[in-house]
Chains A and B, each alone.
Chain A
Amino acid sequence: MNNSPTVFVLDDDPAIQDSLAQVLRVLGLRAEFFTTVADFCAAHDPSRTGCLLLDLRLPGDGFSLLKKLKSDGSSLPVIVITGHGDADTKERVMELGAIAFYEKPFRIRELSDTIREAFERSTRLAT
């Protein structure tokens, strides 16, 4: 069960964490939550499948994590969710390997579709 795809949520805002928890629950997706980059890195197992919902502005900085995952050759798809929706940021995160960029507030249906795509990709890469 440990290898079933999981949505890793990295956001320091408790309201975002909680509301996403409700959404992922009704979507029937497994989720794990982290508040800082350090927490996530400490707990993350590269063999696991799923996707990462990453907020950029958070303690430890979302960008640095993106860079680290890329340099580590991680196969975990990253969906960036941010309040700072400018074109430059989007370009930067896409260059760093993110598969999607969502500005808060985002449409849940689109996000859920993207998560399912990410799951497929993650599972495909893993096998």
Chain B
Amino acid sequence: MSATTNSRLMDEIARLRGRIEELERDHSAASAFASRELLVPPEQVDLYQHATVGLCSFDRDLRCLNVNATLAKLVSRAERECRGLSPQEIFPFESERIAARARDALQRDVEALELNHPRARADGTEQWYRFEFKAIIVDDCVQGVTGTISDVSDRRLAETSLLESEEKFRKVFESVPECVKLLARDGELLDMNAAGLAMIEAESIDDVRGESVYSLIAREYLDAFMANEEAVYRGESNSQVFEVIGLKGTRRWMETHQVPLVYSGKTDPVVLAVTRDISERKKVEEARLASERWFRSIFEQAGVAVGVIETRSGRIVRVNHKYEALLGYASGELVGHSWRDHTHPDDLQESLARVRQLIEGEVRDYSIEKRVIHKDGSTRWMNVTISPMWPVGDPPGEHIVIVQDVTKRKRGDAVLQGLVEGTASRTGDEFFGPFATSLATLFAAKYVLVCEHLDDPVTRVRTLAFWKHDRLGENMEYALSGSPCERTAAGEWSFFPTGIQERFPTDDDLVALQAESYCGIPLTDSSRRIIGHIAIMDDGPMTGNLCDVPALQVFTSRAAAELERRQTEHELRVLQDRLAHVSRVSTMGEMATGLAHELNQPLAAMLSYAYAGEQTLHDSNGSVDVEYLQELFEKLSGQAARAGEIIRRLRTLVGKRTAARARVDIEDPVVEVLALLDATLRRNEVQVDLKLDLQPCPVNIDEIQIQQVLVNIIRNAIDAMKSTEPEKRRLAIITSAQGAEAVDVAIQDSGEGLSEDELGRVFDAFVSSKPEGMGMGLAISRTIVESHGGSLSVASNPHRGVTFRIQLPLAKDFHAR
């Protein structure tokens, strides 16, 4: 219910009250006249006769003395007829009650009697008459009574209306959910409805009537409230929002509308105020504001670029800073432009097609990846997510666009592609380096470790590749205890996006690496045994669980397979190494006599030189040929060195040691083996032609094993040439680089040669032409060369003998000039 309606009701009430007062005044005047004049003076007869009220008088016996025309008309009699009649006889309705009242009036003052005439008025309303009797007193003696009969139908009607209006008003007043109150000056509460009382937590109006509402207004609003009240007293209407504190202390938000209310005849206006509790609305408003603030803060501070776009026109309505920054624009530069302006021309058609689908309602939210043009002219890949802001079914309005720069990921895809291509053809140790490098690039991580487990249950691991900052570092071994890798090594995919040092406080390596985040992936072999793991670390937090990258899972499988292969190969190599060693020892056994003779040569020479020196001194007779003696000593120490060298070679060839590859030039083992076999070759009158490639041919080999291969082949050649005439025994050894990839060592003899059948079986184990041979030499030689990634083959020469060809890969970082 509005304040205006209230005010109108109040006006109506005031008007009716005025009318009642007016009627009462009329009635009193007439009655006073009737009581003063028992007999109507002649000059007043006309007035008497035509008074608006009915007048009559009775003597002490209640016999009618006269009636005026108005009364006569009322009782439907002639004036004269009435004289001498009793009241019962004169009044045709309620006769007894009227007569009794008249009789009482002879004795004492009586109240007026208001009676309902049985006949309704012409307009259908009730007809009411007021009967007022007063004693006529002359000289303190009661002479009779006068009666005044007035039509009070209008007044009664007005009174009934008033009552109804008041009731109606009260009902409204009490039932409206708003607080309706009337205030006098200084906030004095005149009246307040139930809703209002509830709001201020008062039990009843009696508790608060007459008190000032100012005490309920929260202090911070009081001044404004009082000022508004004053304004209302000056005749203004106004509104205000403020907080009240109820009698029980509850704080509520209120909104009040107040108007001045002036009663008829009253000079001081009161304030009619309708106040509603807006706490809920305020709460909603607060929530909305908070939500708006939240939205704005998301909009402005979100890690992603957000924009609001007018869907049909493509006009940018609003973008956050991130959006602008993503495209290289300054604040405010993009608003008003179209997104089409910075979409790559090749992707524009598809983007427009999608927007059309959005407008047609065929799709709601969607994401696409497209290229955009940065302000600097460069092309960037973006993931664009579109969400319409209009409800389903409504015409298109604006949509929200969230843009993420996926250039890096796109580049990552390329890296992934590179990873596929870069590692596809690589196996063994050559796999892990590029693998770790690709992972580091792909995830922009500072550290990537590809580890193999060294024991079971695992406590120590060794890196097969260790990416550190910007390059592959030295591989290392480390203990798992207390490190995040411990969990990974136990088979768990582990992801710690941040705070890794706090999680593993005893791991000093994490501190040394300044690691902040960690992702660990176990590597399992085909029988689900955990054989290694990958650890990816960074010195900043990681976003997005790397474990969730599907491609990574594929790659870890690949790495696991590679690791398994590596381990199998390692086991195989250990076996091969053992076999090679046995074979070497056996070869050395065969060569032992030759080698022993070889050692005796320098020893014999040494003894001879020593004797010569001794005798020279003995025979000198005081004059020593110092120069000659010096020469002898030099020769002697030269032979001692020769003896030492022979022993070194022997030890090198026979001593058991772990296989170790190193980068050497291919000519090193060739020259070494020729030295080793020098005596044998000479004794067998074999002429050696050595042709070494002029350019360096570095190879990554186990030099002893390759020497073993050369010894086997050359001894084989010497044997094959035994039946050849001495002057035709020729052994040619030729090294030659085959492009940048490989180097060949050809060992060509002029021996008896091999039949086709023999050529086919020469590398088979236990096949030997020599009665004392085990037939293992060439078989093992081929295994050794193949384990180096090379090949060993044999072919017949055009004229005489055969050529063995060892082909080995050149060391990777070597580029032929």
Q: A83 to B615, Cβ gap below 8 A?
A: no
Q: B685 to A60, Cβ gap below 8 A?
A: yes
Question: Which of the 9-residue segments A66-74, A100-108, A119-127 touches chain B?
Answer: A100-108
Partner of A83, one of B596, B609, B612: B596
Instruction: Return chain B residues, CB-CB under 8 Å to A83.
Output: 596-601, 604
List CB contacts (< 8 Å) of B689-745 with chain A: 726
B608 to A, closest residue via Cβ: A19
- Encoded as 1 (CB less than 8 Å from any A CB) or 0, chain B from 585 to 624 comes to 0000000010011111111111111011001100100000
Instruction: Return chain A residues, CB-CB under 8 Å to B642.
Output: 15
Q: B604 to A22, Cβ gap below 8 A?
A: no
B685 to A, closest residue via Cβ: A59
List CB contacts (< 8 Å) of A28-58 with chain B: 36, 57-58
B596 to A, closest residue via Cβ: A83
Interface size on B, residues (CB 8 A): 31
B649 at the interface (CB under 8 A from A): no
Question: A13-B601, A26-B615 known; A19 and B685 CB under 8 Å?
Answer: no
Q: B603 to A104, Cβ gap below 8 A?
A: yes
Docked CA distance A68–B639 (Å) = 33
B682 to A, closest residue via Cβ: A12
Q: A22 to B609, Cβ gap below 8 A?
A: yes
Instruction: Return chain A residues, CB-CB under 8 Å to B605.
Output: 13, 15-16, 18-19
Q: B600 to A103, Cβ gap below 8 A?
A: yes
A99 at the interface (CB under 8 A from B): no
Docked CA distance A106–B607 (Å) = 8
Q: How far does the Cβ of A81 sit from chain B's closest Cβ, in whole Å? A: 7
Partner of B612, one of A22, A82, A107: A22
Instruction: Return chain B residues, CB-CB under 8 Å to A27.
Output: 615
Instruction: Return chain A residues, CB-CB under 8 Å to B599.
Output: 83
Docked CA distance A25–B625 (Å) = 14
A38 to B, closest residue via Cβ: B726
Q: B632 to A105, Cβ gap below 8 A?
A: no
A92 at the interface (CB under 8 A from B): no
Question: A13-B605, A15-B605, A18-B605 known; A59 and B682 CB under 8 Å?
Answer: yes
Partner of B604, one of A12, A16, A57, A84: A16
Instruction: Return chain A residues, CB-CB under 8 Å to B607.
Output: 19, 105-108
Partner of A60, one of B601, B606, B726: B726
Instruction: Return chain B residues, CB-CB under 8 Å to A18.
Output: 605, 635
Docked CA distance A20–B610 (Å) = 11
A28 to B, closest residue via Cβ: B619
B651 at the interface (CB under 8 A from A): no
Q: How far does the Cβ of B601 sit from chain A's closest Cβ, in whole Å? A: 5
Instruction: Return chain B residues, CB-CB under 8 Å to A12.
Output: 682-683
Among the interface residues A16, A26, A58, A82, which one has the most CB atoms of the partner chain B within 10 A?
A: A26
Instruction: Return chain B residues, CB-CB under 8 Å to A16.
Output: 601, 604-605, 608
A81 to B, closest residue via Cβ: B604
A112 to B, closest residue via Cβ: B611
Q: A104 to B612, Cβ gap below 8 A?
A: no
Q: B598 to A26, Cβ gap below 8 A?
A: no
Q: How far does the Cβ of B650 sit from chain A's closest Cβ, in whole Å? A: 14
Q: A105 to B600, Cβ gap below 8 A?
A: yes
Q: B616 to A26, Cβ gap below 8 A?
A: yes
Q: How far does the Cβ of B600 sit from chain A's closest Cβ, in whole Å? A: 4
Q: How far does the Cβ of A49 sit from chain B's closest Cβ, in whole Å? A: 23
Q: How far does the Cβ of A118 sit from chain B's closest Cβ, in whole Å? A: 18
Instruction: Return chain A residues, CB-CB under 8 Å to B639.
Output: 15, 19
Docked CA distance A82–B601 (Å) = 9
Q: How far does the Cβ of A124 sit from chain B's closest Cβ, in whole Å? A: 27
Q: B632 to A22, Cβ gap below 8 A?
A: yes
Instruction: Return chain B residues, CB-CB under 8 Å to A84.
Output: 593, 596-597
Q: How far does the Cβ of A98 sit from chain B's closest Cβ, in whole Å? A: 17
Docked CA distance A12–B685 (Å) = 11
Q: A106 to B604, Cβ gap below 8 A?
A: yes
Q: How far does the Cβ of B633 sit from chain A's closest Cβ, in whole Å? A: 12
Instruction: Return chain A residues, CB-CB under 8 Å to B682.
Output: 12, 58-59
Among the interface residues B608, B611, B685, which one has the most CB atoms of the partner chain A within 10 A?
A: B608
Q: How far does the Cβ of B709 sit from chain A's closest Cβ, in whole Å? A: 26
Q: B604 to A58, Cβ gap below 8 A?
A: no
List CB contacts (< 8 Å) of A76-111 with chain B: 81-84, 103-109
B609 to A, closest residue via Cβ: A19
Partner of A26, one of B606, B612, B638, B683: B612
Instruction: Return chain B residues, CB-CB under 8 Å to A25.
Output: 612
List CB contacts (< 8 Å) of B620-668 with chain A: 632, 635, 638-639, 642
Q: B683 to A15, Cβ gap below 8 A?
A: no
Partner of B608, one of A36, A59, A108: A108
Docked CA distance A87–B638 (Å) = 31
Q: B615 to A58, Cβ gap below 8 A?
A: no
Q: How far does the Cβ of B334 sit from chain A's closest Cβ, in whole Å? A: 92
Q: A20 to B685, Cβ gap below 8 A?
A: no
Q: How far does the Cβ of B721 sit from chain A's closest Cβ, in whole Å? A: 13
Q: B601 to A20, Cβ gap below 8 A?
A: no
Instruction: Return chain A residues, CB-CB under 8 Å to B726.
Output: 59-60
Q: How far does the Cβ of A28 sit from chain B's closest Cβ, in whole Å? A: 9
Q: How far does the Cβ of A5 sit from chain B's closest Cβ, in whole Å? A: 19
Partner of A23, one of B598, B603, B608: B608
Docked CA distance A42–B682 (Å) = 20
Q: How far does the Cβ of B646 sit from chain A's closest Cβ, in whole Å? A: 11
- Encoded as 1 (CB less than 8 Å from any B CB) or 0, chain A from 3 to 15 comes to 0000000001101
Q: B635 to A104, Cβ gap below 8 A?
A: no
Q: How far does the Cβ of A59 sit from chain B's closest Cβ, in whole Å? A: 4
Docked CA distance A77–B612 (Å) = 24
Partner of A22, one of B603, B608, B685: B608
Instruction: Return chain B residues, CB-CB under 8 Å to A59.
Output: 682-685, 726
Instruction: Return chain A residues, CB-CB under 8 Å to B615.
Output: 23, 26-27
Q: How far does the Cβ of A113 sit from chain B's closest Cβ, in whole Å? A: 13
Q: How far does the Cβ of A27 sit from chain B's closest Cβ, in whole Å? A: 7
Among the interface residues A27, A59, A81, which one has the most CB atoms of the partner chain B within 10 A?
A: A59
Instruction: Return chain A residues, CB-CB under 8 Å to B611.
Output: 23, 26, 108-109
B597 to A, closest residue via Cβ: A83
Instruction: Return chain A residues, CB-CB under 8 Å to B632.
Output: 22
Instruction: Return chain B residues, CB-CB under 8 Å to A60.
Output: 685, 726
Docked CA distance A25–B619 (Å) = 12
Q: A19 to B619, Cβ gap below 8 A?
A: no
Instruction: Return chain B residues, CB-CB under 8 Å to A22.
Output: 608-609, 612, 632
Among the interface residues A19, A83, A104, which one has the most CB atoms of the partner chain B within 10 A?
A: A19
Question: A13-B605, A22-B609 known; A104 and B683 CB under 8 Å?
Answer: no
Among the interface residues A12, A20, A83, A103, which one has the most CB atoms of the partner chain B within 10 A?
A: A83
Among the interface residues B601, B619, B638, B642, which one has the most CB atoms of the partner chain A within 10 A?
A: B601
Q: B604 to A105, Cβ gap below 8 A?
A: yes
Question: A59-B726, A60-B726 known; A19 and B683 CB under 8 Å?
Answer: no
A20-B608, A26-B615, A60-B685 known; 15 other A-B pairs, CB under 8 Å? A13-B601, A15-B605, A15-B642, A18-B605, A19-B605, A19-B612, A25-B612, A59-B684, A59-B726, A83-B596, A83-B597, A83-B600, A105-B603, A106-B604, A109-B611
11 CB contacts below 8 A, A to B, read A19-B612, A22-B632, A23-B608, A23-B611, A26-B615, A36-B685, A59-B683, A59-B726, A60-B685, A83-B604, A103-B600
Binding site for A on B (CB under 8 A): 593, 596-609, 611-612, 615-616, 619, 632, 635, 638-639, 642, 679, 682-685, 726
Leading 5 A-B pairs by shortest Cβ distance: A83-B597, A19-B608, A22-B612, A83-B600, A104-B604
Binding site for B on A (CB under 8 A): 12-13, 15-16, 18-20, 22-23, 25-27, 36, 57-60, 81-84, 103-109
